Every structure is written in structure tokens, then in C-alpha cells.
């Protein structure tokens, strides 16, 4: 199937892109990586009257690491983050980037486009919510910084105004003795995950959990922060019993719907299993071990 007719505009700056969004009206859309928008257009589920291409805006794909931060330009590709030495310092970011869909999607898809799409089955939302993350936005009213927790409001809904764009994503580096892991379970590489779980924690010594964030993906209208699961670990010795209690609390926090990827009960069982494994991996990484983690596939 072919997309409905649309006009194409190439912006040379974000200011020009914002102005075009104003001029072309509510049915105009920004084109970044296009890995979500273009398939929807081909299926005629999205019918933009105009596309504003920002891929030729200079400097928008940069990855920098100044002053204890990681700064990703909105057009930083998943594949670039996967091989970035700066991003490798926070292993959970590599877990996420390395397993998104297939090579073609990773080479085209962008971190800014993913967050702006706010797909509840996306990978970056759950991953970045475990870290101190802010989204830098620009529009006619100027620049503003929005905490990621406040940026995504609902499924496919953010706080962005129609003529406002994501410019940069800023991630604060975790303190020493920190580790994280992102696990996603899916049928095959190109499809969205059935369930995903992201865990980032900091240890006091080798066994006491000083700080922790646990976020669930694909089991709600937005990524879900499992605060009761965090409470089962915070300030306590991390052992088999506390990890099991946290996994069970995460299971209760999930809000899955039965669909072609599995029943709600099946997804809750996956949540508990993935959280348990993610905590174990995060703890080992916090202790300085090199541990592989990421996306898992049925039958693998």
C-alpha cells in the first residue's frame, strides 16, 4: 500500500523546522529516522499533509560526554549509540541500543524520534527512566528542559507542542558502584518486545542497595516505574530473598493486556523473570564484573 500524498520540506535548522510546522498546520509531521512514521504512512494509519525533514540539520546527531553527562543529539542513531565509547560507560544504554529491531532500523532510527513517538512498546523510554534523564526542547517560545518523567504523558503523547522539537537528550552519569541492565523478551528481532525490564542500582559496599530504579516496558500505556519493587531492595542486602520479593512486586505493578504477543498472565510471569535477571546482572556490573545482557528471543 502507498502513502497518501504529502509535501516534503528539508529544514536547515531546528528554528526553520519549527517555523515550517507553524506554517504547514497541525497535519504536518517531523521526519527524523522515520522508522515508526514511514511504516504507518504506508499502511495509511498516519496521513500527514507535509513532512519536515530535519536530517540535514548540522550537529544534531552528535554524542558528547562533558562534565559527568552524556548528551545525545536528537538524531543520534541507535547504531551510533551501540558503538559509542562514551555510551559504553553506562552499560544499560548499550543493552538497549544493541537490540533494537534489526540492523537496518538501528542504522536509521534515532533516540530523539523514539522518545518523541512515545510508543509504549519502545525501548528507550523504559531504559532512560532508570537514569537521571532530561529532554532539551526548542520551539517558538525558546528552549526548555523537561525531565523524562514529565515528558511522556500517555501512549503516543508527550508534552511537546506541535511546533516544538526535541534537540538533545541529557543523561547524568551514575555514581561509582552503579550498574544497570535492560532485558527485552521478543519473538524475533524485527518485532516489538512482549515485555521489557530496566534496572539501574547503586551499591553501598558489595551487598547493600543504596539506590535503585526499576522500570517495566510494554505492559502499560507508558513505561511503569515499579516503586514497590524498588522499596523491596532500597537500603537492604541484595540476596536471593530480596530479589525475589522485588520481582514479585514488579509483577504486581504491571498492567498488561492480552494480545497477539501473549496473555496478560503470561506477561506478568515474564515481568517477574526479567526483573529478577536484570537485578542480578545490575548487581554484578555494580561490583565491576563484565556481564552480557540485552534482548532475548523465543527459542534462543
What class is the 63-172 domain? Answer: alpha beta
What is the pLDDT, as a whole number, of residue 188? 81
**Phi and psi, residue 207, nearest 5°:** -125, -25
pLDDT tens readout for residues 206-257: 899 999 999 999 999 999 999 999 999 999 999 999 999 999 999 999 999 9
Environment class of 208 (CB within 10 Å of its CB; exposed 0-12, middle 13-18, buried 19+): middle
| pLDDT reported for residue 199 | 98
> Which whole number is the average pLDDT over 81-90?
95
Q: What percent of the chain has pLDDT over 90?
A: 85
Domains 7-53 and 178-297 share a fold: no
What pLDDT, in 10s, does the model give residues 143-194?
Answer: 999 999 999 999 999 999 999 999 999 999 999 999 999 999 988 877 889 9
- For the chain, the average pLDDT equals 94
Q: What is the pTM of this model?
A: 0.94
CA 81 to chain centre: 12
- d(C-alpha 81, C-alpha 125), whole Å: 15
Using CA atoms, how far apart are residues 240 and 124, in angstroms rounded to an integer?
28
What is the rounded CA–CA span in Å between residue 52 and residue 165? 11
Provide the 3-class DSSP secondary structure of residue 223.
Answer: coil
CATH of domain 7-53: 3.30.43.10
What are the extents of the domains in the chain?
7-53, 63-172, 178-297
State residue 3's pLDDT score.
85
CB atoms within 10 A of CB 109: 24
Report the pLDDT averaged over residues 114-126: 94
CB of 13 closer than 8 Å to CB of 56: no
Q: Which residue, 108, 128, 223, is CA-closest to 169?
A: 128
**CA dihedral of 83, 130, 220, 41, whole degrees rounded to 10:** -30
Cell matching residue 150: 514529565
Position 298 confidence tier, pLDDT thresholds 50, 70, 90: low
Domain 178-297: what homologous superfamily?
CO dehydrogenase flavoprotein, C-terminal domain (3.30.390.50)
Determine what percent of the chain is predicted with pLDDT higher than 70. 99
Amino acid at each position: 500500500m502507498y502513502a497518501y500524498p504529502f509535501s516534503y520540506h528539508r529544514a536547515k535548522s531546528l528554528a526553520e523546522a519549527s517555523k515550517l510546522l507553524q506554517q504547514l498546520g497541525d497535519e504536518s509531521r517531523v521526519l527524523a529516522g522515520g522508522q515508526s512514521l514511514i511504516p504507518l504512512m504506508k499502511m495509511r494509519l498516519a496521513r500527514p499533509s507535509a513532512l519536515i525533514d530535519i536530517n540535514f540539520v548540522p550537529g544534531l546527531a552528535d554524542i558528547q560526554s562533558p562534565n559527568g553527562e552524556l548528551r545525545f543529539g536528537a538524531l543520534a542513531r541507535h547504531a551510533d549509540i551501540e558503538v559509542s565509547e562514551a555510551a559504553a560507560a553506562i552499560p544499560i544504554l548499550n543493552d538497549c541500543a544493541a537490540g533494537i529491531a534489526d540492523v537496518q532500523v538501528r542504522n536509521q532510527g534515532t533516540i530523539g524520534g523514539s522518545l518523541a513517538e512515545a510508543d509504549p512498546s519502545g525501548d528507550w523510554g523504559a531504559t532512560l527512566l532508570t537514569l537521571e534523564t532530561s529532554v532539551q526542547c526548542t520551539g517558538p517560545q525558546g528552549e526548555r528542559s523537561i525531565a523524562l518523567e514529565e515528558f511522556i504523558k500517555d501512549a503516543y503523547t508527550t508534552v511537546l507542542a506541535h511546533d516544538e522539537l526535541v534537540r538533545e537528550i541529557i543523561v547524568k552519569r551514575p555514581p561509582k558502584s552503579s550498574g544497570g541492565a535492560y532485558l527485552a523478551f521478543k519473538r524475533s528481532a524485527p518485532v516489538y518486545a512482549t515485555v521489557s525490564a530496566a534496572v539501574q542500582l547503586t551499591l553501598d559496599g558489595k551487598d547493600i542497595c543504596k539506590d535503585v530504579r526499576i522500570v517495566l516496558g510494554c505492559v502499560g500505556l507508558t513505561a511503569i516505574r515499579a516503586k514497590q519493587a524498588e522499596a523491596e531492595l532500597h537500603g537492604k542486602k541484595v540476596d536471593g530473598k530480596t530479589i525475589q520479593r522485588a520481582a514479585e512486586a514488579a509483577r504486581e505493578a504491571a498492567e498488561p493486556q492480552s494480545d497477539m504477543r501473549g496473555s496478560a498472565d503470561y506477561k506478568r510471569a515474564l515481568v517477574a523473570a526479567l526483573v529478577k535477571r536484570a537485578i542480578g546482572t545490575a548487581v554484578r556490573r555494580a561490583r565491576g564484573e563484565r556481564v552480557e545482557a540485552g534482548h532475548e528471543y523465543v527459542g534462543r
